[in-house]
Amino acid sequence: MSECLFCRIVAGEIPADEVMRTDEVVAFRDISPQAPVHVLVIPTAHFVDARAMSTSDPQLAGNLIKAATDVAAAEGLEGGYRIVFNTGDDGGQTVHHVHAHVLGGRSMKWPPG
């Protein structure tokens, strides 16, 4: 059994509120939403962060961004949204399986803090 939380969600060992699943990506609602819409989009393959994924499999990185925009469209975020990859310790990453945050449903602020 994997020790990675998001690999366990991919495997169905931990329940998640899924909004999309393909062979390559899974999207599910964040357990602690920071906006009215807050979905995490992850590859089914394990990469620790965006750096590792982009280096090893840039095509997957592109497909993950496409999936994130598809999720935003399916969630009705016509007015815009934010896609975030927290990357590494200084990036504030807490789960070490690459994930895109799709945030929307409110006006986003900048800088993000």
Alpha-carbon distance of 110 to 113, in angstroms, equals: 8
Quick check: is 46 catalytic?
Answer: no
- 1 interface partner picked from Zn ion, ligand 5GP, none, CB below 5 to 8 A per type: none
User: Using CB under 5 A, which residues numbered 28 to 67 contact Zn ion?
Assistant: 46
Q: Which is nearer to ligand 5GP, 78 or 111 (CB)?
A: 111
- 82-101 residues in contact with Zn ion (CB under 5 A) are 97
- Comparing CB distances to ligand 5GP, the nearer of 5 and 78 is 5
Give the integer Cα–Cα distance in Å for 37 and 55: 29
Cβ closer to ligand 5GP: 16 or 77?
16
Which residue ranges make up the site for ligand 5GP (CB under 6 A)?
5, 16, 28, 30-32, 40, 86, 92-95
Region of 12 (left: φ > 0; alpha: ψ -120 to 50; beta: rest) is left
Please give the single-letter amino acid code of residue 57: D
Q: What are the residues facing 24 on neighbouring strands? A: none
Report the alpha-carbon angle 7-13-19, nearest 5. 75
Residues with a catalytic annotation lie at 99
